[in-house]
Amino acid sequence: MLALLVLAELITFGEAVAVVAFLLSLAALALLLLTVRRLDGKAHRIDLRIKKHEAELTRTTASLKNIENRLDVLARAVEESAGRRADDLGAILASLGEDRVNAMTRAREVEELREEVRGLTEDRV
């Protein structure tokens, strides 16, 4: 169309070149605008994805804190239980030791009584 206007001498060749350059710059601007809009859309989707992951990370962190608190409670309970078991075991062993000592003392007493009974029976005979 510009060629017809130049051939018809309605516009000069320089004006036609200026119009073509202006149209090319408008096309470049339109392409740049579409590229920027596309990149902006991608950036927006990435931002939404990041926010979603941050929310999941926050929930995971809160869950991990709850689990950590529960583990602390369980660890304390296990330690207390182990302490009680150690005390109970110590008491049982002490009791067994006392029983053994008492049994040994009673065995000696019984043996002494047997000796006395034997001595008495020998004296009568």
Over residues 82-102, the pLDDT tens digits come to 888 888 887 887 777 777 777
pTM: 0.47
E strand intervals along 13-106: none
Site of tokens 């929930």: 59
Over residues 48-73, the pLDDT tens digits come to 999 999 999 999 999 999 999 999 99
Would you say 6 and 17 are in contact if contact means Cβ atoms under 8 Å apart? no
Q: Give residue 25's pLDDT.
A: 97
Would you say 17 and 2 are in contact if contact means Cβ atoms under 8 Å apart? no
Q: Report d(CA 98, CA 92) in Å as an integer.
A: 10
Burial 79-90 (b: 16+ CB within 10 A, else e): eeeeeeeeeeee
